[in-house]
């Protein structure tokens, strides 16, 4: 039971087998390569953390074409600023606080990966713009964010 009432909304689209396009066997190699390129400007924001992870502890996983990473440096980044996050998706890279967060939020983050595949280099500016617009309308830039609502509905978390 969450203390936030939005967790109690009925899940209209819960889909436990949801996958980003790069993890779907029916998608060809050439299409997957184009998807990685389309999303690369967003994924590139996280690649330094993936590279430095080896020096700062933690682990890196490849799951369904998506890189999942956690470690001390990643945790510092996720806890930086006013909005700490258990996990954060940047393109085809998912940053996690730890291995528990990786397992717990994987399906939620994979929905964000699919959103990144949809919007490519526009993912971050659109996410931030929608957060501001949603915050102005409801005062809840995260909980009412349409991409967060979609991720909760599809992943169930
Ligand atoms: Zn989310």
- In the reported structure, the alpha carbon of residue 146 is separated from the centroid of ligand 1 by a whole-number distance in angstroms of 10
- In the reported structure, the alpha carbon of residue 95 is separated from the centroid of ligand 1 by a whole-number distance in angstroms of 12
Give the strand order in the sheet containing 93-96. Answer: 59-63, 66-70, 93-96, 87-90
Residue 16 within any structural domain of the chain: no
pLDDT per residue as tens digits for the range 61-84: 999 999 999 999 999 999 998 889
- In the reported structure, the alpha carbon of residue 96 is separated from the centroid of ligand 1 by a whole-number distance in angstroms of 12
Residues whose CB is less than 8 angstroms from the CB of residue 5 and which lie 6 or more positions away in sequence, other chains included: none
- In the reported structure, the alpha carbon of residue 59 is separated from the centroid of ligand 1 by a whole-number distance in angstroms of 21
Residue 22 within any structural domain of the chain: no
- In the reported structure, the alpha carbon of residue 102 is separated from the centroid of ligand 1 by a whole-number distance in angstroms of 13
| Domain membership of residue 52 as a residue range | 30-155
pLDDT in tens, the chain (157 residues): 344 444 445 445 788 788 999 999 999 999 999 999 999 999 999 999 999 998 889 999 999 999 999 999 999 999 998 889 999 999 999 999 999 999 999 999 999 999 999 999 999 999 999 999 999 999 999 999 999 999 999 998 8
Residue 12 within any structural domain of the chain: no
Q: How many domains does the chain have?
A: 1
Residue 18 within any structural domain of the chain: no
pLDDT at residue 81, rounded to an integer: 86
- In the reported structure, the alpha carbon of residue 34 is separated from the centroid of ligand 1 by a whole-number distance in angstroms of 24
The answer to whether residues 36 and 56 touch, using CB atoms and an 8 Å cutoff, is no
The answer to whether residues 91 and 42 touch, using CB atoms and an 8 Å cutoff, is yes
- In the reported structure, the alpha carbon of residue 132 is separated from the centroid of ligand 1 by a whole-number distance in angstroms of 15
- In the reported structure, the alpha carbon of residue 18 is separated from the centroid of ligand 1 by a whole-number distance in angstroms of 15
- Listed as own residue / partner, the contacts of 60-66 with beta carbons closer than 8 Å and 24 or more positions apart are 61/102, 63/23, 63/106, 64/19, 64/20, 64/22, 64/23, 64/110, 65/20, 65/22, 65/23, 65/32, 65/92, 66/20, 66/22, 66/23, 66/92, 66/93, 66/94, 66/110, 66/113
Residue 143 within any structural domain of the chain: yes
Residue 128 within any structural domain of the chain: yes
- In the reported structure, the alpha carbon of residue 126 is separated from the centroid of ligand 1 by a whole-number distance in angstroms of 14
């Amino acid at each position: 039971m969450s203390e936030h009432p939005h967790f109690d909304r009925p899940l209209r689209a819960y889909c436990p087998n949801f996958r980003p396009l790069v993890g779907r066997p029916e998608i060809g190699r050439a299409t997957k390569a184009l998807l990685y390129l389309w999303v690369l400007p967003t994924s590139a924001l996280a690649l330094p953390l993936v590279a430095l992870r080896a020096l700062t502890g933690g682990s890196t996983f490849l799951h369904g074409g998506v890189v999942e990473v956690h470690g001390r440096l990643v945790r510092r980044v996720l806890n930086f600023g006013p909005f700490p996050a258990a996990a954060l998706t940047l393109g085809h890279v998912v940053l996690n606080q730890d291995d528990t967060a990786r397992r717990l939020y994987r399906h939620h983050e994979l929905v964000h990966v699919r959103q990144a595949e949809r919007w490519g280099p526009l993912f971050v500016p659109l996410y931030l713009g929608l957060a501001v617009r949603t915050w102005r309308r409801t005062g809840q830039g995260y909980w009412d964010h349409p991409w967060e609502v979609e991720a909760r509905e599809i992943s169930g978390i």
